[in-house]
């Protein structure tokens, strides 16, 4: 069905994630409820904001929690050169 978590990595820093909803259950509000519950817990820990890294889809997080983009992480890979 659906799951969400926080503090799975970077414990105590207010990082949210991962989360996911089975495609058959999307659009029912499960993800939104789970997101808000986790964000509430993060707030109760004293954090003024949460970090939601590696986000996709951005629109969902904006609609569900009015999340905004504060910074963008870019994954880079060094090209392997044969000698």
2-15, pLDDT tens digit by residue? 999 999 888 889 99
pLDDT of residue 14: 92
Q: Is the pLDDT of residue 20 over 90?
A: yes
Q: What is the dihedral of CA 9, 11, 16, 19, to 10 degrees?
A: 50
Q: What is the pLDDT of residues 23-81, one digit of tens each?
A: 999 999 999 999 999 999 999 999 999 998 877 788 999 999 999 888 877 889 998 88
pLDDT of residue 21: 94
pLDDT of residue 16: 93
Strands 2-6 and 16-21, by their bridges, are antiparallel
């Amino acid at each position: 069905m659906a799951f969400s978590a926080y503090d799975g990595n970077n414990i105590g820093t207010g990082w949210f994630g991962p989360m996911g909803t089975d495609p058959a259950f999307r659009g029912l509000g499960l993800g939104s409820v789970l997101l808000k519950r986790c964000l509430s817990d993060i707030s109760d820990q004293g954090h003024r904001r949460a970090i939601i890294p590696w986000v996709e889809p951005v629109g969902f997080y904006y609609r569900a929690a009015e999340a905004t983009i504060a910074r963008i992480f870019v994954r880079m890979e060094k090209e392997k050169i044969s000698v």
